Amino acid sequence: MALTGHLFIAVLVLIALTLFVLVLLDLPRARRRWARRSVRGVEVVTLNLVVVTLCFALLNDQYVFYESWGDLLGSQGRAVGRSYGAQPAAAAAGAVGSRFAHWSTPARLPDLPSPGARLQTYSIPGAAPGTFHQVLVYLPAGYHASSPRTYPVLVGLPGLPSTPENWIHMLGIDSTVDAAVASHHLAAPILVLPQVNEPPMFDTECVDSPDPAGPHIDTWLSSDLPRWIVGHFRVTRARSAWAVMGYSYGGWCAASQLFRHPDLYSSGVVFEGYFHPEFTQAFDPFPRGSPQLAAYDLARLAAVHRTRVALWILAAKGDHNSYSSTERFLAAVRPPTSVTAEILPTGGHRISVFLPYVPMAIRWLATNSPGFTSAAPA
Residues 151 and 190 reside in one and the same domain: yes
Residue 375: what pLDDT? 66
Confirm whether pTM is higher than 0.85: yes
Looking at per-residue confidence, does 354 or 42 come out higher?
354
Residues 28 and 107 reside in one and the same domain: no
316 and 341 Cβ atoms separated by less than 8 Å = no
Q: Is residue 68 part of a domain?
A: no
For residue 152, the cross-strand partners are none
Residues 261 and 314 reside in one and the same domain: yes
Residue 94: what pLDDT? 67
Residues 286 and 319 reside in one and the same domain: yes
Residue 78: what pLDDT? 80
3-state SS, 103-171, equals CCCCCCCCCCCCCCCCEEEEEEECCCCCCEEEEEEECCCCCCCCCCCCECEEEEECCCCCCCHHHHHCC
Find the CATH number of the domain harbouring 354: 3.40.50.1820
Residues 109 and 44 reside in one and the same domain: no
133 and 194 Cβ atoms separated by less than 8 Å = yes
Of 83, 172, 160, 191, the C-alpha closest to 352 is 172
91 and 336 Cβ atoms separated by less than 8 Å = yes
Task: Identify the domain containing residue 185 by its residue range.
Answer: 80-372
User: 105: burial class by Cβ within 10 Å (0-12, 13-18, 19+)?
Assistant: middle
Q: CA separation (Å) from 94 to 222, 239, 340?
A: 19, 9, 17
Calculate Rg over the CA atoms of the chain: 24
Of 227, 203, 228, the C-alpha closest to 215 is 203
pLDDT at 97 over 80: no
Residues 121 and 55 reside in one and the same domain: no
Per-residue pLDDT averaged across 37-57, rounded? 83
Residues 237 and 313 reside in one and the same domain: yes
Q: Is residue 71 part of a domain?
A: no
Domain count, the chain: 2
Residues 52 and 84 reside in one and the same domain: no
Q: Is residue 70 part of a domain?
A: no
Residues 36 and 125 reside in one and the same domain: no
At 324-367, the pLDDT tens digits run: 999 999 999 999 999 999 999 988 889 999 999 999 999 999 99
Instruction: Read off the pLDDT band of 128 (50, 70, 90).
Output: confident
Looking at per-residue confidence, does 220 or 12 come out higher?
220
Residues 37 and 137 reside in one and the same domain: no
> In whole angstroms, what is the distance from residue 211 CA to residue 150 CA?
38
**∠ CA 281-284-285, rounded to 5°:** 155
Neighbours of 199 (CB within 10 A): 8
Instruction: Read off the pLDDT band of 3 (50, 70, 90).
Output: confident
At 261-296, the pLDDT tens digits run: 999 999 999 999 999 999 998 899 999 999 999 999
> In whole angstroms, what is the distance from residue 32 CA to residue 38 CA?
10
Residues 367 and 312 reside in one and the same domain: yes
Average pLDDT, the chain: 90
Residues 115 and 260 reside in one and the same domain: yes
pLDDT at 132 over 60: yes
